[in-house]
Amino acid sequence: MKTKVYYLEDKNINTEALDEAAAVIRQGGTVIFPTETVYGLGANALDEKSVSRIFEAKGRPSDNPLIVHISNYDMLLYCIGEPLSEKAQKLMAFFWPGPLTIIFKKSKAIPNEVTAGLDTVAIRMPDDSIALSLIQKSGVPIAAPSANISGKPSPTAPEHVITDMDSRVDVILCTKSTRVGLESTVIDISGEIPIVLRPGGVTLEELRKVLGEVEVDKGLEPGSVPKSPGMKYTHYAPKAPMTIVRGNEAKVRDKILELAGKHRDKGSKVGILTVDENKENYTGYDVISIGSREDSAQAAHNLFDALREFDKLMVDIIYAEAISEEYLGLAVMNRMKKAAGFNIIEV
Ligand code: TXA
Ligand code: MG
């Protein structure tokens, strides 16, 4: 398949490329587009054949449902099969457009292929002018998972998208790297206490300010079944095996230096994922920092690129310092744990 790649300026969205991409969506094709979280791989959410092309392009298991992206509230009402609850209205008022995905009962307009047979549908309004304009011009809601090959870290920069998806989709719309850098928060508000099914760009602290009590799905930790089908897959994985070391900062440093030293002595190339404040501790290794320890937003922005960077460096093994799980740190650590296959050393 020949892929057309366009580079767009954020401010100048009224381009022929967008019109062409919108036409491709309407005709049943696939378009990769930027959002504020990660790049998405989109197709017409109302047409099962179009949606099947997404699964094909990603190599995604068909039991993993997709998020439907909308640009206005008429589209939302068309996709959902329930009246809007007070909680939903509050969330939409505070966080849309933005990195929050809300689970609703689905309407008949949404084919089973989108929801992997569930009677619910995940919906969000992205906070990106290119994404919103593409949806609006297409005139249909767009189903879109992250635009990576299944299992790889989600793409946050044009080069990630091109590496994974060139010749697998009809059109790629590129801009700069995505602002948030990891995916939206997925929330289920159907029960009395709202549950975060996937931590992401809207933090637990922000959600609690708006809704009061909010829980995180206990199924996200290993050994239990997550409520969100996609959360059960290994994911985000760099090619080299990764181990997280967590605990007292000095002990974490000593443990990583001990383990990394052993591997280096055996001739292995060791990658170390750390923060700016600690990177001097690991001279002599392939060190990547995800930014300051004090700034979880920076860590979120940098994590996926760092994981892909280790692939490029062709390291044999990776040790990663755990970061605090406050604010965006919760989502960062969720992705890091998955990337490490929950391989964590406590010190
Ligand atoms: O930021 C994002 O959310 C990005 C951009 C492109 O919008 N999209 C994204 O999609 O991360 P994807 O497919 O990689 O992740 C969708 C997640 C999966 O964990 C999936 O299981 C969950 O949302 N999901 C989708 N529909 C659901 C439903 N009806 N019930 C529970 N979880 C659902
Ligand atoms: Mg994904």
pLDDT at residue number 128: 96
Residue 13: is its pLDDT beyond 80?
no
- Å from CA of 32 to ligand 2 middle: 13
* pLDDT of res. 131: 97
Overall average pLDDT of the 114-126 stretch: 97
Q: Ligand 1, closest atom to CA 69?
A: 7
**What integer pLDDT is reported at residue 114 of this predicted model?**
97
Q: Is the pLDDT of residue 229 over 90?
A: no
Q: From CA 2, how far away is CA 18, in angstroms rounded?
A: 18
Helices (H) and strands (E) in the chain, counts: 11, 16
Question: Of the ligands numbered here, which is closest to the C-alpha atom of 198?
Answer: 1
pLDDT digits (tens, 9 = 90+) for 243-262: 999 999 999 999 999 999 99
| pLDDT at residue 12 tops 70 | no
Q: What is the pLDDT of residue 328?
A: 98
Cα 184 to ligand 2 centroid, rounded to whole Å: 10
CB atoms within 10 A of CB 229: 17
**pTM of structure:** 0.97
Is pLDDT at 11 greater than 80 in this prediction? no
What spacing in Å lies between the alpha carbon of 305 and ligand 2's midpoint?
15
The predicted-structure confidence for 59-71, as pLDDT tens digits, reads as follows 998 899 999 999 9
Around 37, how many Cα atoms within 13 Å sit in the side-chain half-sphere?
30
Q: What is the per-residue pLDDT for 47?
A: 98
Q: What is the pLDDT of residue 303?
A: 97
Closest ligand 1 atom to 39 CA: 6
Residue bearing the CA closest to ligand 1, atom 32: 228
Atom of ligand 1 nearest to the CA of 227: 31
- Can you give 121-154 as a three-state secondary structure string? EEEECCCCHHHHHHHHHHCCCEECCECCCCCCCC
pLDDT of residue 9: 80
Rg for the chain (alpha carbons), in Å? 20
What are the Cα distances from residue 322, in Å, to 117, 243, 307?
36, 10, 14
Specify the pLDDT at position 223: 75
Q: What is the average pLDDT across 275-287?
A: 97
Cis peptide before 97 (omega within 30 of 0): yes
pLDDT at 151 over 90: no
Q: List helix spans (H) across the chain.
A: 16-26, 48-58, 73-79, 86-95, 112-115, 129-138, 158-165, 204-211, 249-265, 296-313, 329-339
Over 80: is that where the pLDDT of 224 sits? Answer: no
User: What confidence score (pLDDT) does residue 10 get?
Assistant: 65
The pLDDT value given to residue 346: 97
Could you report the per-residue pLDDT of 304-335, keeping only the tens digit for each? 999 999 999 999 999 999 999 999 999 999 99
Percent of the chain residues topping a pLDDT of 90: 90
Report the b/e string of 323-344 with b at 16+ CB within 10 A: bebebbbbbbbbbbbbbbeeeb
Q: Which ligand gives the minimal distance to the CA of 184?
A: 1
- Supply 100's token pair: 């929050």
Note the pLDDT tens digit of each residue in 180-194. Answer: 999 999 999 999 999
315 vs 270: CA distance, rounded Å = 6
Indicate if the pLDDT at residue 270 is higher than 70.
Answer: yes
- Kindly indicate the confidence band of residue 233, based on its pLDDT and cuts at 50, 70 and 90: low
227 has a pLDDT exceeding 90? no
SS3 238: coil
User: Helix axis angle, 296-313 relative to 329-339, nearest 10°?
Assistant: 20
Residue ranges around ligand 1 (CB below 6 Å): 35, 37-38, 40, 64-67, 99, 101, 103, 115, 118, 120-122, 126, 144-146, 183-184, 186, 197-198, 228-231
130 close to 18: Cβ distance less than 8 angstroms: yes
Mean pLDDT of 112-132: 97
Q: In what order do the strands lie in the sheet with 242-246?
A: 286-289, 270-274, 317-321, 242-246, 344-346
Q: Which residue, chain included where needed, has tokens 């700069």?
A: 176
- Write out pLDDT tens, residues 33-43: 999 999 999 99
Q: Which pLDDT score, from 0 to 100, does residue 231 have?
A: 75
Report how far residue 137's alpha carbon sits from residue 145's, in angstroms, rounded to the nearest whole number. Answer: 20
Mean pLDDT of the chain: 95
pLDDT of amino acid 234:
65
| Candidate from 15-29, 202-216, 220-234 with smallest mean pLDDT | 220-234
Residue 273 has pLDDT above 80, yes or no: yes
Residues 270-286 have a mean pLDDT of: 97
Give residue 42 CA to ligand 1 midpoint distance, Å: 13
